[in-house]
A and B are shown apart, each in its own frame.
Chain A
């Protein structure tokens, strides 16, 4: 895929899915501790999300970093907006901010407190 099609693919993907996690490995079998940590946060809240394994596609692995000008993976998007990587997501989940953001954006949480 050319650079532009990768960027278009990402734009479409985060438009079509409420919650998208670009990660190393899959939600069932994460292949990096940071990706696993974000999966765990989302699972605990009972949020349905679309996991995309960047290890399947080198162009995507680089492309997602360029897309948001963010150097690391995982990257979490909610309703088309970049929320953060592992550190930010964990910090926001601890403070309750993540839950507020999801609620505000109308994302369903099965285990919301």
Chain B
């Protein structure tokens, strides 16, 4: 089942404060996305914790509707 890019963006932004989200639909099929998320909320968190925050924001869709989400996270450069 496919999920729209703007839905992913909305969920992440709702879940993580001040997040900026860049999404690339890699195969054009609504199932394989590359997502780049930056947020000041990632400050001081390990990469695993940052990714867990994004997965949390996606509320269980990861691994279900979303088979492939290449995820990269970072703290915004000031």
Residues of A within 8 A of B (CB): 34, 65, 69-72, 82-85, 87-88, 91-92
Contact = CB atoms under 8 A, between A and B. Distances in A.
A70 B70 contact: no
Contacts of B63: 65, 71-72
B72 A87 contact: yes
Lowest 3 A-B CB distances belong to which pairs? A71-B63, A71-B62, A87-B71
A69 B55 CA distance: 9
B51 interface: yes
Given A84-B47, A88-B47, A91-B47, A70 B71 contact: no
Contacts of B70: 87
B52 A70 contact: yes
28 contacts: A34-B68, A65-B63, A69-B52, A70-B48, A70-B51, A70-B55, A71-B55, A71-B60, A71-B62, A71-B63, A72-B62, A72-B63, A82-B48, A83-B48, A84-B47, A84-B48, A84-B51, A85-B51, A87-B51, A87-B70, A87-B71, A87-B72, A88-B47, A88-B48, A88-B51, A91-B47, A91-B72, A92-B47
The secondary structure that dominates the A interface is: mixed
Contacts of A71: 55, 60, 62-63
Interface of B: 47-48, 51-52, 55, 60, 62-63, 68, 70-72
Nearest to A72: B63
B72 to A, nearest CB: 6
Nearest to A87: B71
